[in-house]
Structure 1
C-alpha cells in the first residue's frame, strides 16, 4: 500500500517518484473513463471488461500546478456490491485510506441509472469529484442537469464534461487539485446511508430498491427539461423490450433473426469465395506443372496449405463479416443492456448476473 511519505506509481515502465496525492477513476464501462485517464496522464491505455479477460487497472502519473499525482483507472463496473471480479477489485481499491480523491465518471444522459453507482462509491469515500461526461447528449435528450443542486445533494463537486475536449480535461484537473489540497471541501450526506448497509448481499434486493429510489429522488430535483424529451420515447421502448411478457420473446426473436441472417446471408459470399479460390487453385497447378515441381511439393503447397487456408477463409470470413457489424448495430442502439436486464433473473439463480450472458 502507498504511504504518505513515499509514494510511487508505475507508468509506461517508468516510476513517478514521491507523488503527493493518489487519485482513482471509477465508473461504468464505456462512459469515457479511460479517455479521461489518457488525457490526464498522457498514456494510451486500451482497456476492456468482458468474460475471460484478466481484470486489471491502469496506472499513470501527472503533474497539476505544483503537485504530482498518481492516477489509477479502475475496471469499469456497474456496481460495487461484489458479484464479479472487476467489482471486487474496484471496491477493494476504493475503500483504501490513502486515496485522496475519487473521480467518478458517469454518463450524464442516463443520470438516474448512474447515480446508484455514485451513491455506492460515496458510501465509502467523501473526497470525490463527479464528472457528468457525455454532457452534450443531455440536451439532445431534452433535459439539462443542475450541477449546483446535484452537488448539494451529493456533497461533492460536480462538473459537466466532454472527455474529448481539452478545456474540460483542464476543469477536471483543477477540481482534482482543489479536492486533494482541500481548497474545495467535500462533506458526507449522512441521510443517504443512515441504517442502510448497501454492501450486504443478503439484502441485495432491498439495497437495490433503496438506491434506485434515492437516485430517482435526487434526479427529480436536479433534472430540468429543455425542449422535447426524447428520453420519454426511450422509456416507452424500455417498457416493451424489458417487459415480463414481451421482453424475452422479442429478445429470442431478434437474436434468432440475427443468427438466421448470418447463416443464410453467408452462403452466397461463401460460394463466390470458394469459386474464386478454386479458379486460383487451377492457375497455381499450371504454374507448378510449368516448373515441373515434384508431386510432393505441389501436394504440400496446393492440396495442403492453399486448400486448407482457402476453405477456412471461404467458410469463416462471410459469417464474421455479417454477424459482427449487425451485433455492433444492436449495441449502438442500446439493446445489449436490455438483454442483460432480461437475463439477470435467470442468471442470478445460479449465482451469476445478466451481463455475463453477453
Structure 2
C-alpha cells in the first residue's frame, strides 16, 4: 500500500479549513481544490454549480468507481435585519444555535464582507444577571452583532447588508502534537483532505488501477442534494467519505476507519461494504463498524437522485459532530490508506458493468441454509 504523507495531509486540511465554504457560497473552495488537483496531475472538471470531478485514469472506463467527499459546510443565512441593528439568522444545514453562540464569523454581502459575533439575545450578565443562564436555546434566541456602525435598520442597510446574505463561522483550528485535531468543519473537509492525500500517495507510487477512479468533491451535501447529479454513466460503485460519530451509544472511534453499515436511509450495499472490511483486514488498517440513526451522506443523495450504483460509507470518528469537532490524525491516515487499497483492488463483480443482465455472475449472500460459496464474487 502506498505511504500516506501525513505532513501533506495536515497541511492541505489546514488550507481547506481556512477557506469559508458554507453551502451556497462555495466558489472559492472549488477554485482552491481544482488548483490542487491540477497540481497533483489529475484531469479536472467542474459542473455548472461547482461540484468537482477529478479523473485518475485506470486500465478501462467501463465499471469505474467513484470516491466522494463534500466541501460545503454548515453556516447561516440572514433572515431579518432587526430594529436594534442586529441580524436574525437561520442555519445552513442542521446544527444547534448553541454551537454558534459567542463564535466569531464573517458576513458576506453583495458589496464586501464584515466581521461579527453571534451572541445570545441576553449576553451581558451585568445587565441581565441570572437570566443569561435560563434564556431559551435556538436560532431565534441568538443574533449576529456586526463589527461596524450598525445600531438600527437604516444603518445596517446603508452598509449593504441584505436578507439572504451568507455567514461563515471561524473554524478555530488547532492541530496538536499528539495527533488530535480540533476545529469546526472537519465534517467534511477532513474527508476531502484524506482523499487528496490518497491521490498524492497513488500518484507518487505510480499506482495502477483496473478501472477509472472518479474522485468527486460535492458542494451541497449539508443541505441534502450532494451527489444526486454528479455520477457519470460508467460508475458502478461509490464510496463516500464523511464523519462518524463517537458519541455515547455509537461504535465509532477517533482512530482507524469506522465503516458505516447503515444510516437513516437504510443499509449500505452488502458486498461493497464487506469488501472494504476485507481490505482493512488484509492491509492491517484498524477499523470498526457503526450504524448511524440520524445521518445521511452523499451516498443517500446519489441513490435518491436515481443512480443505480452500489454505495458504501467510510468515516473518521468525530467527537461533537456539527459543533466544535475533534478527530485524530490516525483516522485520516487510515481513511487515505483504505482509499488507496480500494482504488487498486481488482474488479470481481463483472456483471455490474451491465445495466440489466441475467443472473449469471450475480452475487450471493450467506443464509441460514448454507454458507456463502468460497468463490462468492465481490466488487
| Structure exhibiting the larger radius of gyration computed from Cα positions | 1
TM-score relative to the length of structure 2: 0.24
Q: Higher relative contact order at CA 8 Å, sep ≥6: structure 1 or structure 2? A: 2
Point out the structure with the larger helix share.
1
